[in-house]
Amino acid sequence: MLHVASKAFFHLLAQNGVLKKLASRFGMRHPTSFARRFIAGETVEEAIEAARAIQTRGLAITLDLLGESVTDLERADVATREYIAVLHAVTESGIERNVSLKLTQLGLDVDKASAVDNLRKILERAEPADFFVRIDMESSAYTDVTLEIFETLWRHGHRRIGVVLQSGLLRSEKDLARMIALGAGVRLVKGAYKESKAVAYQNKADVDAAYVRMMKSLITDGHDPAIATHDPAMLDLARAWARDHGVGPERFEFQMLFGIRRDLQAKLVQEGYRMRVYIPFGREWFPYFMRRLGERPANVAFVMKGIFGER
Ligand SMILES: Cc1cc2nc3c(=O)[nH]c(=O)nc-3n(C[C@H](O)[C@H](O)[C@H](O)COP(=O)(O)OP(=O)(O)OC[C@H]3O[C@@H](n4cnc5c(N)ncnc54)[C@H](O)[C@@H]3O)c2cc1C
């Protein structure tokens, strides 16, 4: 219950303009500012630098240019051009070619056809350069449309794309079966959004139990499974399940967020597992940042210390 209440509280706070202004002013301005624990920087150069450091330690990366819930097509167009610029910068830099993006950043809330068009423009540049593009999953209001767009692209022959499913949603086990049948790569997460009981489990134990069930079928039957969690219990179960079913560490990967459980990230790599770090960057970092606080209220103390320390 606390889990749900804390998500709801931070969801409300995320819409607070004063807080956003305050955070934006102090959160990223110095290398030690509090938001930098979770966000690699505001520029692509900073993200590439972070990615290099992570790759040097033997981990893989995916870059996410932050932005979501765009409310006009002009902004969606700008976001699309910025993503294409990121593809160029990544190609030039020589780091791994892997990005994650959100469809509402490309205009899904305004006009679905334009968002699909924007995604196609990005894929037109990404695919010849052998990028992998993961479509992040947003709140349940977008699950159907995101999967529909993904499946359409898949059926049109796009293969360097992947999708995300959230164990917190009641529907997800069926969606997983559909994605496995399609042959598509799934990143499995618990889900970062506040959802109602009509569509989502409200107890963490149920979210975790669904995660375990989905993780097991993903590891044994899925394609390029990505087990994205910082939860040591899930990680133990995943390793044991894979081992017991003869699935080698080269057949799946773990994923974690930039700045979270770096100890576990390093440990898994030492043990011979593949670990990919999701590196968010960009000026539009506030909603992402608030979701990270909502997942772990202990982070708030650390942020408050940062704000008052800097003032
Ligand atoms: C690579 C990646 C991509 C993701 N993409 C999406 C997406 O597309 N859509 C979506 O809805 N969600 C996404 N998420 C977020 C995900 O849904 C969860 O909200 C998030 O991962 C926290 O859940 P958990 O599985 O780590 O487990 P939890 O049970 O929430 O946490 C387990 C432990 O992990 C650590 N931990 C977790 N979160 C934090 C934090 N914020 N700060 C510090 N420690 C923490 C703590 O030690 C905690 O006890 C993604 C997560 C990852 C790792």
Q: Which atom of ligand 1 is nearest to the CA of 207?
A: 29
Report which of 274, 265, 279, 268 is spatially closest to residue 52, judged by C-alpha positions: 279
**Is it the case that residue 178 has pLDDT exceeding 80?**
yes
| Amino acid 310: pLDDT | 46
Q: What's the Cα-to-Cα distance from 208 to each of 155, 170, 190, rounded to whole Å?
A: 32, 12, 7
CA 117 from chain center: how many Å? 22
Q: Which atom of ligand 1 is nearest to the CA of 190?
A: 17
**Is it the case that residue 305 has pLDDT exceeding 50?**
yes
Q: Which atom of ligand 1 is nearest to the CA of 164?
A: 8
**Active-site residues: which are they?**
136, 187
> How many whole angstroms from 198 Cα to the centroid of ligand 1?
22
Helices (H), 245-276: 262-270
Going 207 to 212 to 217 to 219, the CA torsion angle's sign is positive
* Tokens coding 158: 């796009």
| 26/306 Cα distance (integer angstroms) | 8
Backbone angles phi, psi at 277, to 5 degrees: -105, 130
| 85/72 Cα distance (integer angstroms) | 20
Q: What is the pTM of this model?
A: 0.93
Ligand 1 pocket list (CB less than 6 A): 136-137, 164, 166, 189-193, 228-231, 255-257, 260-261, 278, 292, 295-296, 299
**Is it the case that residue 113 has pLDDT exceeding 60?**
yes
Q: Give the residue, by CA position, lying nearest to ligand 1 atom 19.
A: 192
Read off the pLDDT band of 6 (50, 70, 90): low
Q: Give the residue, by CA position, lying nearest to ligand 1 atom 38.
A: 295
> How many whole angstroms from 230 Cα to the centroid of ligand 1?
6
Largest Cα separation within the chain, whole Å, is 55
| 57/60 Cα distance (integer angstroms) | 9
| Amino acid 10: pLDDT | 65
Task: Compute and round to an integer the Cα radius of gyration of the chain.
Answer: 19
| Amino acid 296: pLDDT | 80
Q: Give the residue, by CA position, lying nearest to ligand 1 atom 21.
A: 229
| pLDDT average, residue stretch 94-114 | 97
Backbone angles phi, psi at 37, to 5 degrees: -65, -35
> How many whole angstroms from 156 Cα to the centroid of ligand 1?
32
Q: Which atom of ligand 1 is nearest to the CA of 3?
A: 30
| Amino acid 311: pLDDT | 43
Q: What is the pLDDT of residues 240-278, one digit of tens each?
A: 999 999 999 999 999 999 999 999 999 999 999 999 999
> How many whole angstroms from 257 Cα to the centroid of ligand 1?
7
| pLDDT average, residue stretch 27-33 | 79
Residues whose CB falls within 8 Å of the CB of residue 203, separated by 6 or more in sequence, listed in order:
1, 3
**Is it the case that residue 149 has pLDDT exceeding 70?**
yes
Q: What is the pLDDT of residues 152-177, one digit of tens each?
A: 999 999 999 999 999 999 999 999 99
